[in-house]
Structure 1
Amino acid sequence: MPKVSLPQLPLSGLFAVAKPSGPTSMSVVNDIKQLVGSSRLFVEAEKLEEQKGKGKIPKRGRRARETVKIGQGGTLDPLADGVLVVGIGKGTKRLNEFLDCVKEYRTTALLGCETDSYDGEGVRVRVAPWRHVTREAVEGMLDKFRGEIQQTPPIFSALKMDGRPLYEYARKGIPLPRPIEPRKVTVHSLEIVDWKGSDHGFRWPEKEFTAEEKKAMEKALESVEENPVVKDEPESQPTDVPPAAFVLSMKVSGGTYVRSIVHDLGHALGSAAHVVTLTRSRQGRFALEPTEDDDKGCVPWDVFSKAGESEGEVDAEGWTEWEREVLDRLEIVDGAKPQAAV
């Protein structure tokens, strides 16, 4: 590998990790913090000396905060994978710019079932007919969701109304004081890129709403909707064929709920739908597959997971594999960008 000329250590900066599906964004950041907090790249030499003999830094608590600042620029749900921007040191002050930037996603929608979380990790709220939905029908409906649209956040979300989370109204059967305020978002592009039909391994969640839970949800909605009804509308002819699924690719503004697009699209098609896979392929200039000259790639997650088990060997310049991988993709905030030496 070419030599790298660095500004004075320690560094502050931004990089992206390719988060896997499963762990929370916070747990990913905490695991990276274990490595970052013991690296001369990001921690002053005196502090590293103080750490010797004390083992790994704690994930939480005062000592963890004092060692190094670290944060992320936009949470991904546990189900989701893809680009997670990480800021270290003064780089944390730049993370806000990634909340409102343009993002790109690829998501798989499964027809015939609506869940409380709008994704496959939630509880089944209701089922609906799906066999009438074709690829052509989906393509014909997508224009309704392109451009500047008004999007209503899910009732089962942590957004608060009069100091109470929306999900609390829905679960306890408390009438909403007023309709959920829609948000203006921009869908720059939205395309169906794969029609899977029934040729897939996805299934609806097994856990479903009880009759009491459906009544509670109706009660919460009755003050803002006329005669809300939450009930199953299964196919008239039972079938063993899995419900159809399809894949969407989209480029959206910050604040857009991808799950809401899938949920609302299911309703528009006279069916129901929820997200079963979700990948953030781009967040601003960080991308899983860089295509522009100023794009930054992502550090593979297995680089960090392997380093967490064993520090491994160091190269000729004294860097471990994970440090080299981060250096190759790091956008330095405090100082000049690293340049390859001739």
Structure 2
Amino acid sequence: MPKATRQPVSALFAVAKPSGPTSMAIVNDIKKLVTRSRLFVKEQDIEKAKKKGKPRGKYARDTVKIGQGGTLDPLADGVLVVGVGKGTKKLQEFLDCVKEYRTTALLGCETDSFDSEGAVVRVAPWKHVTREKVEEAMPQFRGEIQQKPPIFSALKMDGRRLYDYAREGIPLPRPIEARPVTVHSLDILEWKGSDHSYKYPEKKFTAEQKDALQKALHGIEDQVIVADEPEAAAEDDTPATAFVLQMRVSGGTYVRSIVHDLGHAVGSAAHVVTLTRSRQGRFALEPTAEDNSLGCVPWEVFEKAVEDPGEPDADGWYEWERAIMEKMEVVGEHE
């Protein structure tokens, strides 16, 4: 391993993000370490930062640039690619690259966000859905498909975010445009059935919220069916069927939309209860020698270092810096 006197580098590395925090919160915590690290910042710049106190604002940004190559929702965990210095210029390729996901779908319930973080929009029958029925419906979601983003998303239409139309009851000026995406593979990894502990969200749409959504979708092909289906077994205590999907998709693909649309395709409803990005480009949770993929630094390594970085080793490196060096891709020397 190199000594701490080496020239600072620009690099790409991946963090194994946990479910819970936002991607921005993760990057901001890593920035606190990176802006004081001899691995990424010149010695004289670190000394300037120390004299000025804790780096923040414009000074911290000028010391070293840092960014991430594709946001993960708070619910999601897995590969989060981080670029430092010149590495930030390489992040666009990770937005456009092929990604792999594992996601758990729970039948019988549809939410506004298409996942368990949202509010229940409707419930629907699910007992008729078998593994065979899901597998029969899956081919229509493979290959080059047209996918509509969720109405509860931050995408803009005529300068207003889609979720604002839905929440405020403002009719959409036109249908949400479908986008071409590629689903390279889509398979059932595990059929859990009712052997799980997942539950529907406690948050539910109020009558006013349902009315606002109906007004937003007035005259538009429904993306969200608002009314509960009367035959849905609301008082049945049996856990609804859950199953795990594994997929390889192009950039811009909404995994939550695939689960939502698949629920409709089998005559039910569905939402995401777990979501893991297992691979993004050449970074993976489980790297293999065959494809020269790189692994991820556990988030706990950074979390521990933010609280207490400990003492540097004989070569002058902290534990978190060593962890990065073992898995980083050097882009060039820091300017």
Q: 1:39 to 1:335 in 2, by over 3 A?
A: closer
- Give matches, 1:1-342, under 5 Å: 3-4=1-2, 9-52=7-50, 55-58=53-56, 61-225=57-221, 230-235=226-231, 237=233, 238-291=235-288, 292-335=290-333
1:221 is displaced (CA, Å) by 1.2
| Kept in 1: contact 2:123–2:232 (CA 8 A) | no
Secondary structure of 1:140's counterpart equals helix
For the Cα contact (< 8 Å) 2:118–2:201, is it kept in 1?
Answer: yes
The CA distance in 2 between the partners of 1:119 and 1:286, in whole Å, is 25
Contact 2:150–2:223 (8 Å) recurs in 1: no
How many residue pairs match? The answer is 332
Distance 1:137 1:227 in 2: 22
State the AA in 1 paired with 2:68: Q
1:55, distance to aligned residue in structure 2 (A): 5.0
| 1:288 positional shift | 0.4
> 1:38 touches 1:56 (CA, 8 Å); kept in 2?
no
**What displacement does 1:5 show?**
7.8
Give the counterpart letter for 1:233 in structure 2: E
- Secondary structure (helix, strand or coil) at the match of 2:146 reads strand
Deviations 1:269-314 (A, max 9, x none): 1000000100000000000001234211100111111111111132
Q: What is the CA–CA distance in structure 2 between the aligned matches of 1:311 and 1:141, rounded to whole Å? A: 51
Contact 1:287–1:297 (CA under 8 A) maintained in structure 2 = yes
TM-score, reference length from structure 2: 0.95
Q: Deviations over 1:91-113 (max 9, x none)?
A: 10110010000000000001111
Distance in 1, Cα, partners of 2:144 & 2:98: 13
Scaled by the length of structure 1, the TM-score of the pair is 0.93
CA distance in 2, matches of 1:80, 1:156: 17
1:62 to 1:228, Cα distance in 2 relative to 1, 3 A: closer
Q: Are the equivalent residues in 2 in contact too, given 1:177–1:223 (CA < 8 A)?
A: no
CA distance in 1, matches of 2:52, 2:188: 53
SS of alignment partner, residue 334 of structure 1 = strand
2:124–2:268: 8 Å Cα contact kept in structure 1? yes
Quote the offset at 1:228 in angstroms.
8.4
Measured on the aligned residues, the alpha-carbon RMSD in Å equals 1.9
1:222 touches 1:228 (CA, 8 Å); kept in 2? no
Greater mean deviation of Cα atoms: 64-73 or 79-88: 64-73
TM superposition shift of 1:6: 9.2
Letter in 1 for 2:41: V
User: Could you tell me whether the CA contact under 8 Å between 2:76 and 2:277 is conserved in 1?
Assistant: yes
Give the residue type in structure 2 aligned to 1:46.
Q
Contact 2:122 2:225 in 1 (8 A): no
Deviations 1:219-238 (A, max 9, x none): 11122238986201154553
